[in-house]
Chains A and B, each alone.
Chain A
């Protein structure tokens, strides 16, 4: 099965600054999807952004962008202009052609006022 690694257990960022959350993955499938989710303290899972393995351009969704480096097998999430409401757990996930979807251990982001 594929493997997802998030090496930053916790990150701090000052309000209005940008922050990068790291994600690396390992798979032998040429076709796969990469996803980022946000989990506030309420426990709900909120989908943020998607990147396909064949996509030539980095995905962007509002203040979220994905820095996709296929050769390095990394898919880092960049949050611009951080807000207090961005404080949450963030999970990177990968889906393979068998619809198996695995998640990383997560990064807890804290935005400081």
Chain B
């Protein structure tokens, strides 16, 4: 089945540790996105990528890093510089163009202790 996978579903880390969230898609989509969602809030764009080896910062990129070495994969690293990393992280992908909707993964809930 085609879709987007994010792993793991729940992730616990100690404060000060870097952690990498996985996002893989087999939909042959060029564009991929990372959003952060805090409880009861909207989705805030962290980074997005339109093509392999290229990505752009969103509104809240500080403390995060990404890579796009393969079309299928867009991992997000939450670094120790991110002051409040505990949140729900959603990955999405889509075809390029204003008329194409995003397809979302199930999300990773990160808790930093």
Which A positions have Cβ atoms within 8 angstroms of B? 1, 6, 31-33, 35, 43-45, 47, 50, 52-53, 91, 93, 95-106, 108
Are A99 and B48 touching (Cβ within 8 A)? yes
Q: Which residues of B contact A95 (CB under 8 A)?
A: 98, 100
Q: Given contact pairs A101-B48, A101-B102, A106-B42, enumerate 6 new A-B contacts (beta carbons under 8 Å).
A: A33-B99, A45-B90, A47-B103, A52-B98, A93-B102, A100-B58
22 pairs from A and B in contact (CB 8 Å cutoff): A1-B59, A31-B98, A33-B98, A33-B99, A33-B100, A35-B102, A43-B88, A44-B106, A45-B92, A45-B104, A53-B98, A91-B43, A95-B98, A98-B56, A99-B96, A100-B56, A100-B58, A101-B33, A101-B45, A102-B45, A103-B43, A103-B44
Q: Which residues of A contact B98 (CB under 8 A)?
A: 31-33, 52-53, 95-97
